[in-house]
Amino acid sequence: MTIAQRFANGTDPLERMIDRYRGEQLTKFDATHDLIAEQFDQDRATDKRRDHPTCDHNREIRERADRNEISAAVAINGLRQIKFKWDMSFDQIDTTADQLALLCQSIFKSGRDQRNQLKRLFRAVDLESSVPTKGIAQRTQNPKWWRVLLYRECRRRTEKTLRQMGLVSKTTGIYLSDFTFAGWRKSERRAMELMKEAELVEVGSGEIISVEEASHGSTSNLENRRAELMTRIRGCEELAEERRLIPMFLTLTCPSKYHVFAKGRKNPKYNGSTPKQAQQHLTGNWDRIRAKLNRRGIDLFGLRIVEPHHEGCPHWHLLLFVEPSQRIEMLEIIVGYALEEDGDERGAQQRRVEIVQLDEAGKAAGYVAKYVAKNIDGFKVGEDHESDGQSSMDTAQRVRARASTWGIRQFQFLGDASVTVYRELRRIANDPHQAASLTGETQTAMVAADEGDWAAYSKENGGPCCPNNARPIHPYYSEIKPVTGIQRAGYMGRCYRQSRESKRRQASFCLEPVNGFCSLSAIARLGPV
């Protein structure tokens, strides 16, 4: 029997998936079986990749298998096992990851057409967009890499289905489904348990530090994260006041086709996109906006906050500081690109870009404080206007869970100095030996960072709107790309070395010359902020 005939026989993969969804994992939702069956029927009608494994996109690899190319035949056997099972448990993910890693190892051992065979494998299991661009051989043969990928895809594809079924809204599950939220909370609890068990040991002194305690002293602590963001916003305000810039607050929204619901009902224009795809739409628009602003010589800096609508679709809040003479031109460019896609639809002129002119820069921090808190811990925000009467302190967890599920960055500063350098300088300030080795603007920047004065630190590191390659202080990265410290051109100093060890990680500090630069390394990411 040929491989193609083996695929043609057997049960329909769709029926197997529906049977799995009828199990205990989704029994809490009423009529889930009928809704999922209807949803996947629609998907099959519009997307060939969700059809039976004998569809056109798999024909080439099946034909190669029929010609006794063993590596391709092995890959097909692996496809059958995971094709429609995006609701796998942790144990199933581990097993599948091991199998896929072995398949990739067999492909690389065959020595023939390796990259194309890998691409066909990813395409056949509906992971074509996840093919790594770097280190493809090392990553695809590593079960750990597959575990991370499969876990992420299982969460996102299950959430996509539940969202299309209407189970993500202010009345059913605000920002993300109850099912996905429960899984996220379980993962958070597992992470907390692991941190309680782990310790860091200071090499030399023998001092033992709890990983949980160190985490509470970093930006993993929500209070520290919120405080750091507000410190940076206040610093941007001070810089804007010195330069006599005016603050603008903008809200950018996606076209209606990215929203599942419209006025409380299923949106007939909805195109089936995920929050990740909606975020990519906004990011692509902003890239073009920034490019045109640069061509026009319009400099700006500020903050971007990504916030979800009740059904999960993202929208952006932008706090921008700009020259008064360039304000109108900047707004024309932003509005023009925002309305480029479906700009003639009803309500687009009013809702696609909302503009608030703040009276003075000194009020900007107070204005955006509620948006920052709402997306972190809901501190002193009160009722969440997107919800059905729930407190922001209750919904903030769901906001973070949704950002984690879809891989969406919540906060990003534009045109200002590196926060990585700021954090490293604060850590270095706690070590008298390393702090004494710094001179010039690096020492001044360290003092400002240690005092929490973002404006003074930013000015010492090039100030706002300075190109990154022109800033005097840069983060110095090791080959595996963790942050290892800072560097400044022309600085030479003595070398100090200190290490912390644990079963799961190793950290060290050193001051060493690299290609004419002296880099102060601090691999240890944990510690007081």
Which of the residues are catalytic? 367, 371
Residues 496 and 509: beta-carbon distance below 8 Å: yes
E strand or H helix at 514, and its extent? strand 506-514
Residues 416 and 232: beta-carbon distance below 8 Å: yes
Question: Can you say whether the dihedral through the CA atoms of 343, 349, 352, 357 is positive or negative?
Answer: positive
CA distance 486 to 511: 9
Question: Can you say whether the dihedral through the CA atoms of 87, 93, 98, 101 is positive or negative?
Answer: positive
CA distance 511 to 496: 6
Structure tokens at 210: 């709890």
* Nearest by Cα to 458 from 323, 301, 319: 301
CA distance 103 to 92: 16
Residues 6+ apart with CB under 8 A from 226: 372, 373, 376, 377, 379
Structure tokens at 444: 């001044």
Amino acid at 391: S
Strands 411-414 and 517-522: unpaired
Structure tokens at 323: 């020259």
Residues 422 and 206: beta-carbon distance below 8 Å: no
Angle (CA) 521-449-235 rounded to 5° is 135
- Looking at the DSSP assignment, which residues form a beta bridge with residue 477? 483
Which regions of 220-352 does DSSP assign to beta strands (E)? Answer: 246-253, 261-262, 265-266, 300-308, 314-322
CA distance 267 to 256: 8
